[in-house]
Structure 1
């Protein structure tokens, strides 16, 4: 075995992490608080396999790039893929197993996903996502429900200084409608708007011979952000019925969330256009001080379930657990259990009594180790109890 292979034995693959005990405890605490928030809002937890048939992820309604997925073969030569996110597998399960029994599903999850992605924490290949899917319910109230849940959950885990940016992909679709652009040209314009690169955008629009009000509206799309004033400006630029419906939808969602008392956490941005083909309406993402990448993203995806044989509207979001941990740590809010483990030292001739004592402590919720060989423990790190002295 050469030196390079020997080195690999002591490392983890790029984009993966070891969570050591203190880190793992902090991660579990955050996950438990998130799960509690989801469950108390009426969502039921679901688990899907870590891998699916490759075909689950290969259609127009999902934003996966083939080269980014981790793929392998089963014994019959069929291509399998580690899930790149949870929405696709949950949509499969909902369409084929759950919607036949009820019309509206509220599902949640905390599971790992895999892939070679640059989004989120750079270079990650295995990552934990926590999220919800509200399936079978259309309308602004459903969109507002999941966004309110996202805000409430971030508050519950102690996060500060975050904003939820609201966008509407139908507005862009309405602006570009009738322009004569093909799919590749539309994607180029979308990417420039999403990146807020107006210099390149103006050059590209001129190169495509797009002039007049449509060009001006697209150039102003990246500046349509802020509070209610962004809605007023977007309405003025709206020339099609699709654009006007998009503005009205985001206004209704915004008003509901303000009614919940969440206005301070909201910002409107019509220039959010990531995963353009995947989302069908409202789109949103969470940003926070202390990290240069979104901590959550979501939106409405009404076309996805039809890929699995059932037409049903759907909306939801996913949070990146690693991103949340980074922000919480930088804000000084990341804590693990402060309870010391108790170590009960006992001689072997008293093991029966000592074991009964330890079991009683464990029933009371304490963390207890029964030590029979007399090993020494640092009292700064452990609560050490001499059982023999205790019963005298």
Structure 2
């Protein structure tokens, strides 16, 4: 291994991309704040137990683990939602609604072929303490506005309801591990393998046909009608009622053209309990954002509260903007004030005056001729002033 080699799954952000990243983060920060969300920050690492138990559990091989000085296992956070649930239990015992947002890095071992990294910046929101279709619609509407505010145009928000899948499973005796395996096949729309596995399990023919229909249940409002024909149990009906109410609200908000229903979308995180959604762009083969309702997660940390939210992948949105031709990197114009050493004071004072006026000023003492020439050729440099043998500078650009 070379000393200058990066670990797999991380990257350096050079000036132009770093500028674009910071601009996007600030755009999202302002959007979240305009909607009444307050920024919070959680530690980069937590105790392993925070992520290893219950519905918020992660596969241990996907977490980056290490030990503290006392031998306790720590992990770099693979997700921000779970730490926020832990934070709320420690600091907000009172009842009420909380609107939080974050822009933080998360870490994990993921499949790089689908656009994930070992270190990735997420911008997300959590609406805690409010259940119901109205809160679900609020979260999805903010996801739409966030992508629009970032400058994206060709995108869709796919909306599903995991309660419908869980309701279908009530019609059969399928153990938890098998239900998770089937969930993954349905979410990946792997109908061939799904059919093979259902036959292996000997699933009742009626339930088999319903589960096989799930990967194809996507589209517009007609999906709701098709889904209601699949099952008449109360859990499925309640899930579809919620999905229909959320969809109707979003249409009333004027967002119908950005929406698609998908009852075969079943997020991998176990804590999702109702509405789930993800943002997809035409140029990308993986989600820009994902989220949903997770009513049981906060209860695992001692205070049971409903919650809904989403996380947006900052790097993924930057890639989508670039592929759409919409990425605009703001150029910082600057003035260079250079001087021979004995005129340094005059040059320094001029540079300070420019900075006080809100301009960017680079101060150089005894620059080499090629350095001055480089500044003069730089399109981001508005002017070059050089103090040599006189008190008044010579303008080189």
Is 1:380 the equivalent of 2:374?
no
How far off its partner does 1:256 sit? 1.1
SS of the aligned residue for 1:31 comes to: helix
RMSD: 1.9
1:249 lines up with 2:246 in the alignment: no
Q: Distance in 2 between matches of 1:166 and 1:63?
A: 24
Tell me which of 295, 298, 318 is aligned to 1:302.
Answer: 295
How many corresponding residue pairs?
A: 385
Secondary structure at the aligned position of 1:334 is classed as coil
Contact kept? 1:361, 1:368, Cα under 8 Å: yes
**Which aligned runs of 4 or more in structure 1 are off by greater than 3 angstroms?**
119-123, 346-354, 387-392
Q: Give the equivalent residue in structure 2 for 1:64.
A: 58
1:113-128, aligned counterparts within 5 Å? 113-118=106-111, 121-122=114-115, 124-128=117-121
Cα pair 2:171 2:207 within 8 Å, conserved: no
- Report Cα offsets for 1:228-264 as digits up to 9, x if no partner: 1111111222321110110110111111111111111
Aligned to 1:182: 175
- Given the alignment of the two structures, is residue 224 of structure 1 paired with residue 248 of structure 2, yes or no? no
Paired with 1:391 and 1:118, the residues of 2 have a C-alpha distance of 56
CA distance in 1, matches of 2:263, 2:131: 21
User: Structure 1 regions of 5+ residues with no counterpart?
Assistant: none
Helix, strand or coil for the counterpart of 1:116?
coil
Once the two structures are superposed, what CA deviation does each residue of 1:123-143 show, in whole Å capped at 9, x if it has no partner? 621111110111111111111
What secondary structure is seen at the aligned counterpart in 1 of 2:56?
coil
1:283-362 → structure 2 map (5 Å cutoff): 283-362=276-355
- Residue 213 of structure 1: aligned partner: 206
Does the aligned pair in 2 maintain the 1:96–1:309 contact within 8 Å?
no
Instruction: Determine the C-alpha separation between the residues in 2 that align with 1:289 and 1:360.
Output: 48
- Does structure 2 conserve the Cα–Cα contact (< 8 Å) formed by 1:341 and 1:367? yes
Superposed displacement of residue 203, structure 1: 2.7
Match of 1:345, SS?
A: strand
- TM (norm. structure 2) is 0.92
Output the CA distance in 2 between the equivalents of 1:213 and 1:247.
Answer: 20
Aligned residue among 33, 36, 45 for 2:39: 45
What is the alpha-carbon distance in structure 2 between the residues aligned to residue 100 and residue 304 of structure 1?
15
- Contact persistence 1:194–1:272 (CA under 8 A): yes
Match of 1:262 in 2: 255
Q: Please, which runs of 5 or more residues in structure 2 have no aligned partner? A: none
Displacement after TM superposition at 1:101 (Å) = 4.6
Please tell me whether the aligned partners of residues 164 and 263 of structure 2 are also in contact (alpha carbons under 8 angstroms). yes
Q: How does 1:135-154 map to 2 (within 5 A)?
A: 135-154=128-147
Q: Is the 2:115–2:316 Cα contact (8 Å) retained in structure 1?
A: no
1:302 Cα shift? Answer: 0.8
Note the alpha carbon deviations across 1:368-387, whole angstroms, 9 max, x for none: 11122134332231233326
After superposition, the Cα gap between the structure-2 partners of 1:205 and 1:40, relative to the gap in structure 1 and judged at 3 Å, is: same
C-alpha separation in 2, matches of 1:115 and 1:204: 29
Structure 1 distance, partners of 2:10, 2:196, is: 40
Which secondary structure does the structure 2 equivalent of 1:338 belong to?
Answer: coil
In structure 2, C-alpha distance between the alignment counterparts of 1:145 and 1:86, rounded to whole Å: 20
Which of 89, 101, 106 pairs up with 2:99?
Answer: 106
Instruction: State the Cα distance separating 1:122 from its structure 2 match.
Output: 4.4
Q: Counterpart of 1:221 in 2: which secondary structure?
A: helix
Larger deviation, residues 229-238 vs 149-158: 229-238
Distance 1:224 1:54 in 2: 38
